[in-house]
Amino acid sequence: MKIIIKNGMVISMDCKKDMYTYDDVVIEDDKIIYVGNNYNEYCDKVIDAKGKIVMPGLINCHTHLGMSIFRASNDNYTLDKWLNEYIWPIEDNMTDDDMYYTTLLSIVEMIKTGTTCFNDMYFNWKGSFKAFDKIGIRGVYGRCLIGNGNEWDNKVNDFNNLYNCNKNNLIKLSIAPHSLYTVDSDGLIESELLASKYKLPIHIHLSEDMDEVNTIKNKYNMLPVNVLDKYKLLNHKLIIAHGTYISEGEIELLRDKDVSICTNPISNLNLGCGIADINMYKNNGINICLGTDGVGSGNNMNMFYHMSMLDNLQKGKYKDSTVMSSYDVLKIATINGAHALGMDREIGSIEVGKKADIIIVDINDIEMCPCVNPIVQIVHNGWYNSVDTTIVNGNILMDNKKLNVDINIDELSKKINNIRERLMR
Ligand SMILES: [Zn+2]
């Protein structure tokens, strides 16, 4: 199958090119085979992107896809109370079937809002993988490892089962110890051993709020990043989710490592955690990527909204509108995310030889009028209706704003509401 996208404004995120160009983009099967002018060979499908932006799919580097039943559920809870009294007791009762539908809902939301790759951490992987297999979206999945003793061992066994069963070539795996406050030192040692044994990256929540930082300081008599260093977790292409409170001293430790910090600005605000000093991390050479977190605290999976918030928060925090540009933010949501996931040779930009994970964004709607600077418009005014087409691995999952997946959306919504009513009774 050969597809040509013509007449669009291409924001390729290819550092060798201008910020935007007017090129044809040609896809053959799963790959981009041409980016340039006047492609004249036969193509099976022609997409006319006149008046639209063609860009790499967005990469959401911290998700809990199965949490869609908890959408916008946090109101007046602290992080600790919300997890312990609300989320975790309900999650314990979720079946594989529940997880299939809740994951499916998140995937549909990602397709509609231009996300083509995710980095998830959750449990009941059989349900989630059924959804991944059905749609064909790209991602990294970490079976959440949490607790101690038998509880921990059961979860590691479950991860080993997943490792042996995963046949989905679009989904890679990670080792996902939940956090330093829910995993003890034995668990950290075993996480490092698993990452070494399977040569997988590690994905962990860290320093989400100051209470957590103080808990870890009291427990280990050192700061959270020092704990990660002590247990050698920094050596495994680590992705730190949140990192709201990482000191300059800790950043020094991260500078020479292949570690990424995935900021989740909406979730951090919603749970009253605060605002991460992303500008300081970035200026110290740390790879920054962006996540929505689960929709319980992140509210939605629309990465455009989270991009806008990230940009505005840093400008507000510094009282300086020059600390971050919209192009910086687009990098964070595309090529930096690809780097964090170890996939920057495959995705994150529109370049010949890369996988065809591409979105087309409609800039004709009133919220983008007048479109003087398309990059600023994309970051600040992209919304649900803005994404016109979503392509993952060469497959068109949304075509001209119509979902191209085998799902009845009305039935899916009913299922989700039924699951929510049953579990929250
Ligand atoms: Zn999270």
- State whether 132 and 183 are in the same domain: yes
Residue 425 lies in a domain: no
- State whether 239 and 383 are in the same domain: no
User: Average model confidence (pLDDT) for the chain?
Assistant: 96
CATH number at 26 reads 2.30.40.10
Please give the distance, rounded to the nearest whole angstrom, from the Cα atom of residue 264 to the centre of ligand 1.
Answer: 9
- State whether 96 and 205 are in the same domain: yes
Residues with CB under 5 A from ligand 1 (ion): 293
Please give the distance, rounded to the nearest whole angstrom, from the Cα atom of residue 178 to the centre of ligand 1.
Answer: 8
* pLDDT tens digit sequence for 357-404: 999 999 998 888 898 899 999 999 988 889 999 999 999 999 999 999
* pLDDT tens digit sequence for 309-322: 999 999 999 999 99
Please give the distance, rounded to the nearest whole angstrom, from the Cα atom of residue 296 to the centre of ligand 1.
Answer: 10
Tell me what pLDDT residue 375 has: 95
User: For 145-166, what is the mean pLDDT?
Assistant: 96
State the pLDDT confidence band at 12, using cuts at 50, 70 and 90. very high
Please give the distance, rounded to the nearest whole angstrom, from the Cα atom of residue 242 to the centre of ligand 1.
Answer: 8
Structural domain of 43: 2-56+354-403
286: closest CA among 313, 263, 255, 265?
A: 255
Euclidean distance between CA atoms 70 and 91, whole angstroms: 10
Residue 418 lies in a domain: no
Under 8 Å between Cβ of 390 and 137:
no
Tell me what pLDDT residue 79 has: 83
Tell me what pLDDT residue 86 has: 85
- State whether 49 and 62 are in the same domain: no
- State whether 280 and 174 are in the same domain: yes
- pLDDT of residue 84 exceeding 90, the answer is no
- For residue 58, what are its two tokens? 């967005």
Residue 379 lies in a domain: yes
Residue 416 lies in a domain: no
* pLDDT tens digit sequence for 99-151: 999 999 999 999 999 999 999 999 999 999 999 999 999 999 999 999 999 99
Selected residue with higher pLDDT from 187 and 72: 187
- pLDDT of residue 73 exceeding 80, the answer is no
User: For 325-336, what is the mean pLDDT?
Assistant: 98
* pLDDT tens digit sequence for 222-237: 999 999 999 999 998 9
Helices within 205-354 (DSSP H only): 210-220, 224-230, 248-254, 265-270, 278-283, 295-298, 303-318, 326-333, 335-340
- State whether 52 and 62 are in the same domain: no
Please give the distance, rounded to the nearest whole angstrom, from the Cα atom of residue 293 to the centre of ligand 1.
Answer: 5
User: For 265-269, what is the mean pLDDT?
Assistant: 97
* pLDDT tens digit sequence for 205-218: 999 999 999 999 99
Please give the distance, rounded to the nearest whole angstrom, from the Cα atom of residue 37 to the centre of ligand 1.
Answer: 43
Please give the distance, rounded to the nearest whole angstrom, from the Cα atom of residue 62 to the centre of ligand 1.
Answer: 6
State the pLDDT confidence band at 16, using cuts at 50, 70 and 90. very high
- State whether 101 and 14 are in the same domain: no
Please give the distance, rounded to the nearest whole angstrom, from the Cα atom of residue 372 to the centre of ligand 1.
Answer: 36
Residue 161 lies in a domain: yes
- State whether 142 and 287 are in the same domain: yes
> Using CB atoms within 10 A of its CB, is residue 267 exposed (0-12), middle (13-18) or buried (19+)?
buried
3-state secondary structure of 313: helix
- State whether 48 and 78 are in the same domain: no
Residue 417 lies in a domain: no
- For residue 207, what are its two tokens? 């320093």
- pLDDT of residue 74 exceeding 80, the answer is no
- pLDDT of residue 75 exceeding 80, the answer is no
- State whether 252 and 303 are in the same domain: yes
Selected residue with higher pLDDT from 238 and 77: 238
CATH number at 134 reads 3.20.20.140
Under 8 Å between Cβ of 138 and 171:
yes
Phi/psi at 67 (5° precision): -85, 15
- State whether 155 and 182 are in the same domain: yes
Residue 349 lies in a domain: no
Total domains in the fold of the chain: 2
Residue 410 lies in a domain: no
In which residue are the tokens 């490892």 written? Answer: 145
- State whether 269 and 147 are in the same domain: yes
Please give the distance, rounded to the nearest whole angstrom, from the Cα atom of residue 206 to the centre of ligand 1.
Answer: 9
Euclidean distance between CA atoms 235 and 225, whole angstroms: 12
